[in-house]
Structure 1
C-alpha cells in the first residue's frame, strides 16, 4: 500500500506541476482575450443567475445549477487550501490565487456554453451534458470522452466524497468530541436522503444550503476584518507587494520568492474554483435556459464567488491575523487556519468549524451529481442507482478510514479530467466565439436557441 501511495504521490506532483499550471492559466488568458473579457458582464451574469427561465427547457433552474456547482466547488480548499498556499508561498500567494479567479471566469463561461450547446435529452426527458458530450459531439473524440467520464466517476469518490467525509468526521471529533463512527452514520444518512432523489433533489437542497453557508461565512470574515481593521491595510499591502517582490516580508512572515508565491497561489486558485477541470459544466447542462450564453454567464459567477470573493476573504483574514498576532506559527497550513480564526474571540472558532462542516457536506452532494452523470454516460440510467448506493457507502468509509492514498489518487484523477476538457475548450474556441457573437455581442440574450 505504501508503494502504491508513493506512486500516486509522484504522479500527482508530476501532473500538477508547472506544465499543468501553464496549460490551465494559459487557457484562462487565451479565452479571456478570445471572448473579449466576459468578466465585464459580471453584473448581467449575477442578475441572470437569480432569475428563473421558466419557459426554457431543462431540469433545474439556472440558480439551482449554479448552486449545485458551487456546492461541489466551495469546499475545505477555500479555507485550508488558502492557508496552505500562504504557508508555502507567503502572503503573495493570495494575490495570485485571486488573479486566477478573475481570469478563470472566462474558462468557466466557456465550459457552461459548450455544456448547453452539446447537451442531449434522454428518453425520460432529462438533460445530460458536459465535456464528454462536447468531446464526442463537437470533436468526434469518443474515446477521449469515455476517458473523461471514467476519470470523473473515480474522482467523485475521492475529492468529492471520502476526503470530505473524513474532514467532517475529524472536525466533529476534535471540536465536539463526536465519534467518527457516529458522525459517519449521520452524514451517510443525510447524504442518502438527498442524493437518492436525483438532480432535482440535489439542486433543491444546494439551492437552500449554499447561499446560507456562503453568506454566513462571508459575514463572519467581514466581522473578523473589522476586528482586525488596524491591520487590514498592512495585510493588503503585504499581499500585493510580496506577490512581486521577494523582499516584501515582515508582519510575522519570512520572505519567499515571487515564483513560489505565484506557483502555490495559482495552483490553489485553479484547484479551488475548478475552472478548466470540467466538473461544473456537467450540472450546467441541466439548467433551464433559452440559449447557451445565458447559462455560460451564470456559470462564470461560480468562479467569482468561489475564488474572487471567498478565497480572497479567507486569505486576507489569515494574513491580517498573522500580522496582528505574530506568535501564530504560519508554517503549517491546517494549523495556521485554526490559530488565525481562534484568535478572534467568540466567533472565530465556531465560524471555522461551521464553514468546514457545511462546505465539506455540500461538496459531497455536488460531486455526486458529477459522478452520477458520468456513470449514466458510460453505462446508462440503470447503473446510476448502483453508483448512488456505492457513493453513500463511501461516505461512511471515508469518515472512519485513513485517506492519504485517496488524496493522491483524487489529485491524479482531477488532473486527468482537466486535460481532455481543456483540449475541448481550445479546439472548439471557434464555436465559443460564434455563439458569443450571436447572443452576447449582438445583445440578443433573450433570444431562444
Structure 2
C-alpha cells in the first residue's frame, strides 16, 4: 500500500504540476480578455438572475430552475475544500496563498461562465425527456472530438467516487467521531440512507433539496465566521496585511520561494470552486433557460460565493487566530477547528464540525449527478440504476475506511478531467464569444422594454 501511495503521489505531482496550474489560470485570463472582463461588467445582473424568482419564459427547456442549477453546482463545490483545503493552503503555502485563491477565483469566473454557456448550447435531450450536457457533449458535438469527450466522461465517472463521495463521507465520519465520539459505521449508515433518499429521486429531487439546503448551510458557517470577524475587528486589518505581504514574499513556508505560495493558492482555489475542471457545467446543462448566456451568468456567481465569500471567511479566521504558525501546527479541518475554537471555544468547534457535515453531504449529492451523467454518456444511459446504487454503497465504505490512497487517486482523476475540458474551452472560445454577444444584445433589449 505504501508503494501504491508513493506511485500515485508521483503521478499526482505530475498532473497537478505547473503546466496544469498555468493552463487553468491562463484559460481564465484569456477568456476574461476575450469576453471584455465580463465577470465585472455583468456581475450585478448575474446575481439578479441567480436569486430573483422568475416565471418560466417561452422557449425555455430544461429540468430545473436557474437557482436550482446554481445550488446543485454549489452543493458539489462547497465542501471540504472550503474548510480543510483553505487551511492546508495556509500551512503549506503561507497566508499569502489566500490572495492567490482570490486571483484564481476572479479569472475562474470567466472560465465557469464559458463552461456553462457551452454546456447549455450543446446539451441533448435523452429518451426520458431529461437534459444531458457538460464537457463530454461540447467536446463531442461542438469540437467534433468524441475521443476527448469519452476521456472526460471516463475520468469524471471515476472521480465522482473519490472526491465527490468517499473522501467527503470520510471527512464527516472523522469529524463526528472526534467531536461526538459516534462510531464511523453509524455515521456511514446515516449518510447512506439520506444520500440514497435524495439521489434515487434524480435531478429534480437533487435540485429541490439543494435549493433549500445550500443557503442554510452556507449562511450557518458564514455567520459563525462573521461573528468572529466583527467581535475581533481589530485583528482584521493586520490579517489582511499579512495575507497581502506574504502573497509576494519569498519567505513563505520558512524561506521557500514565491512559487510555493502561488502554487498552493491556485491549486486549493481550483480544488474549492472547480473552475476549469468541467464538473459544474453538467448541472448548468439541466437548467430551464431560453439562452445559454442567461444560465452561464448564473453559473458564474458560483465562484464568487464559493471562493471569494466562503473561503475568505475561513482564511481570514485562520490568519487572525495565528494557529498555523510554528512547527507541529494542525493541518486541514483540524486547523480550521482550532482557529474557530480560539475565538468561540467549544461553540467554534461545533460550527466547523456541522459546517463540514453539511458541506461534505452536499458535495456527495452534487457529485452523484455529475458521475451519473458521465457514466450515462459512456453507456448511452444504460446501467444508471446500477451506478446510483454503487455510488450510495461507496458512501458507507468511505465513512469507515482509511482514505489516503483514495485522496491521492481522486486528485489525479480531477486533474485528468481538467485537461480535455480546458482544451475544449480554448478551442471553442469563439463560440463562447458569439453566444455572449447574442445574449447581451437580448438582455439589453429586455432591460429597455422593462424600463
Shorter-chain TM range is over 0.9
**Alignment CA distance shift 1:235-1:441 (3 Å):** farther
Deviation at 1:267, TM superposition (A): 1.1
Q: Pick from 80, 95, 99: which aligns with 1:95?
A: 99
Please give the secondary structure, in 2, of the residue aligned with 1:153: helix
Distance 1:272 1:257 in 2: 24
Distance 2:227 2:138 in 1: 44
Please give the secondary structure, in 2, of the residue aligned with 1:91: coil
**Segment drifting more, 286-295 vs 374-383:** 374-383
**Alignment CA distance shift 1:318-1:441 (3 Å):** farther
Alignment gaps of 5+ in structure 1: none
Please give the secondary structure, in 2, of the residue aligned with 1:72: helix
Deviation at 1:441, TM superposition (A): 5.3
1:80-117 deviation per Cα after TM superposition (whole angstroms, max 9, x unaligned): 11011110111111101111111100000000100111
Deviation at 1:245, TM superposition (A): 2.6
1:347-367 deviation per Cα after TM superposition (whole angstroms, max 9, x unaligned): 311111111110000000000
Deviation at 1:305, TM superposition (A): 0.4
Distance 1:436 1:345 in 2: 46
Alignment of 1:163-312 (within 5 A): 163-246=167-250, 256-312=256-312
Please give the secondary structure, in 2, of the residue aligned with 1:79: helix
Alignment of 1:9-408 (within 5 A): 9-40=9-40, 41-50=42-51, 51-55=53-57, 56-246=60-250, 256-322=256-322, 330=329, 332-346=331-345, 347-408=347-408
Distance 1:445 1:14 in 2: 49
1:52/1:62 contact within 8 Å kept: no
With the length of structure 2 as denominator, give the TM-score of the two structures. 0.94
Runs of 4+ in 1 over 3 A off after TM superposition: 253-257, 325-335, 441-447
Distance 2:402 2:332 in 1: 19
1:228/1:321 contact within 8 Å kept: no
Distance 2:333 2:134 in 1: 34
Alignment gaps of 5+ in structure 2: none
1:231-281 deviation per Cα after TM superposition (whole angstroms, max 9, x unaligned): 11000111111111335x8xxx95653222111111111111100000000
With the length of structure 1 as denominator, give the TM-score of the two structures. 0.95
**Segment drifting more, 52-61 vs 184-193:** 52-61
